[in-house]
A = this chain, B = another copy of it.
Amino acid sequence: MNERIERLRGEMGKLGIDAYVVADADPHSSEYPAPHWKTRSWLSGFTGSNGTLVVTPGAESHGEARLWTDGRYYIQAEGQLAGSGVTLMRGGEPGVPDYIEWLADISKGKKWKIGVDGKTTSCSAYDALNKALAGENIIVTGHDLISQIWADGRPDVPAGKIFCHDIKYAGKHASAKIDEVRAALRGKGADCALIAGLEDVAWLYNIRGSDMPLLPVVYACAFVSPDSAELYIDREKTDDGVVSYLAGQGIHVRAPGDLQTRLEGLKTGGRICCDPKKTSVELRRYIPDGVEVVYAAEPTIMLKAIKNEAEIRGHREAQIWDGAAMARFMIWIEKKAESGEAFTEWDASKELTRLRALSPESRGDSFNTIAGYGPNGAMMHYGPSESKSALIKNAGFMVVDSGGQYPGGTTDVTRTIVFGRTTPEERSDYTLTLKSHIALASARFLYGAAGSHIDSIARKVMWDHGLDYKCGTGHGIGCYLSVHEGPQSVSMRTQGGERLEPDMIISIEPGVYREGKHGVRIENLVRITDDFTNEFGRFLHFETLTFVPICLEGVEKDMLDGGEREWLNAYHRDVYEKISPLLDGYERAWLKNATRAI
C-alpha cells in the first residue's frame, strides 16, 4: 500500500472528488520539469519521464490507482510500482485504453467529480479530458491536492538568478525579436500573445537562468502586445544588470501575481495568442469571455528554430570545445581499457562530465549522459547511476550519448565506443548504422520537404536489412537552451509536420538496438543549408556541425561503397583539422590515428 496515495484519497474525500489525475507537470508543461513539480513521481514511486497517475477513492468504494506509461518504461515501472497497490497500464499496447478512455468508461453514468490541478495542466490536456468526459461528469481544476499532502521534503520552487544571454551569441537584441513577434501576431490577426514556454521566454528576451542544473531556462512568463513587452518573474531572481538590460529593450519586469490582473484586464473584442500545449488552464481562466483565444504554437517557435548568423557561429565554436572534450574522453576510455583496471559506465559518464567542464567556455552538461555498455546499449534511454552501473569488459560496444551547454550553443552527440573483440553481427550493425547516418547526412532534398518525408532516407538502409529503430531519426536543438526543440522532427511518427528550413539545426541519429545483446547509435548535429536552385526547384542539404571521431574499429570496410568511404574520410579530415589545434602532442597523435583514412 502507498501511504501517500492514501493521504491523497483523504483529501479527495473531503472535497467529494471521485478521481484525481496527477502528472509530473510544471506550470509551463515543460519537457523537463523542476523537481518541485515531479508530483506523480513522488506519489507513485515511478520516476520515468512519461507517466500519468489516476487515483480513485479507497478500496471500500472499489478505488484504484493506475499509472499509464509507454513501452520504454514498462520494466522500470513494474519494479518501482511493485507492492504499492498501483496498477501499471501499458500505454500503446493493443487493447489498453488510455487514461481518458479508462476514466470515461469507469465514470459512465456516475456524474463524477474529476479533479486536475489547473495550475499545471495545459489547455490541450484539459480540453482533451473535458471533450471526452464533460458530458457526464464535472471536471474541477481549482484544487492542488498535492500541496496539501506534500510539504516535508518537497524541493523548493526554483529560485535561481537569471542573467543576460550575450548579444555576441544571441545575434539579435530582445527588442528586435519582440518586433518580429509583433509582426507574427499581426499575421495571425491577434493583438497580443501570452508566451508560457520556458525556452521561448528565454530566447525572446535574451535571458538564461540557473533554475535547473542542465537546462538554462527561467521559470517565467512573457506577454507581448503592440505597445508593451512584459516579463513575469520573481524579483529575487533578477539583479540590477538584468533589469537594466531588459528596461533598455523595452521590457517591463513584473511580479508573477500581476499576470492575472494583466489577463483579466484585456479589452473585449481583442484576440490573444496562446500555445495550448504550454498555457495552463488556470492562466486561460483569467482571460475575459469577450476576448478571443487564438490557439497556435508560440509565435517565437519558427524564429527560434531558424538560427541567425551569430547563433550558428556560436554553435560552431561550441562544437570545437565539445569535440576536444570528446576526443580526450575517447583517449581516457582507450587507456582505461588497455590498463586492465576495472571501470564502469558510471565512471565513464563522470569522467566525460569532468572533461567537458574543463573547457573554460563550458556551462555544464546539456543532459544526463547515456553510457550503455553491452545489452544496456540496447535501451535507448538507459542512464547509469552510482549504484547501478555495468562493468566494462574488453569486448563489444558502449553507446555514449551526451552533450554540453556553452554560451554559444547546445551540443548532443552519440558515439559507439568499440572495445576489443567484436562479433560479425556487431560489426555489421555498426557499419549499417554508419551507412544510414551517411545516407541522410549526405542527402540532397527539395525545399518543402518535412522531416517525415526524409526520415526514410536514413531508415531505408535498416529496412533493407530487416532492421528498424523505434525512435525518430532526428530532432531540433536550441542555442544554449534545450537539447530537444521543435517544430522540426525527422520521424515516421509525425504525420507531415513542419517543413525543414535553411538554418535549422537537427540531429541525425539512426541506430540498431538488439535487446539483450547490444546497441549502436551514431549521432551528429547538422545544419540545413541551401545546395542550389535550378529549373526543378530549390535543393537543400546538410552541413555537419559535430566533430568527433567515429570509431573505425567497428567498421566493416567492405560494406561501405566508394561514396561512403569518401564521406567518412572527408569527415575525419575535418575532425582533425578543427579539433587538433586544441590538443596537446600526445592527444594530437591519437586523433591523427583515430581519423586516419580508410
Contacts and interface: CB of A to CB of B under 8 A. Distances in A.
Interface of A: 443-446, 448-450, 452-457, 459-460, 462-464, 466-468, 492, 494-497, 514-515, 532, 534-537, 539
A460 B463 contact: no
Contacts of A456: 445, 449, 453-454, 456-457
A460 B466 CA distance: 21
Contact of A492 (B453, B455, B467): B453
Nearest to A492: B453
Contacts of A535: 514-515
Contact of A496 (B495, B514, B536): B495
Nearest to A450: B495
Nearest to A561: B561
Contact of A536 (B455, B468, B497, B534): B468
Nearest to A459: B446
Given A443-B464, A468-B536, 20 more contacts: A444-B464, A444-B466, A445-B456, A446-B463, A448-B492, A449-B456, A449-B492, A452-B452, A452-B453, A453-B453, A453-B456, A456-B457, A457-B460, A462-B536, A466-B532, A466-B534, A467-B536, A468-B537, A495-B497, A514-B535
Contact of A539 (B466, B494, B536): B466
Contacts of A492: 446, 448-449, 453
A536 B460 contact: no
Contact of A460 (B443, B450, B494, B514): B443
Contacts of A454: 456
17 contacts: A443-B460, A444-B464, A444-B466, A445-B456, A445-B463, A446-B463, A449-B456, A452-B452, A454-B456, A456-B456, A462-B536, A463-B539, A466-B532, A466-B536, A466-B539, A468-B537, A495-B496
A444 B457 contact: no
Nearest to A449: B492
A516 to B, nearest CB: 10
Contacts of A494: 496
Contacts of A453: 452-453, 455-456, 492
Contacts of A467: 536
A86 B474 CA distance: 49
A463 B446 CA distance: 7
Counting from the closest, the 4 A-B pairs by CB-CB distance are: A495-B496, A496-B496, A468-B536, A444-B463
Nearest to A513: B536
A466 B443 CA distance: 11
Most B CB atoms within 10 A — which of A495, A497, A515? Answer: A495
Contacts of A459: 446
Contacts of A446: 459, 463, 468, 492
A44 B93 CA distance: 56
Most B CB atoms within 10 A — which of A452, A464, A515, A537? Answer: A452
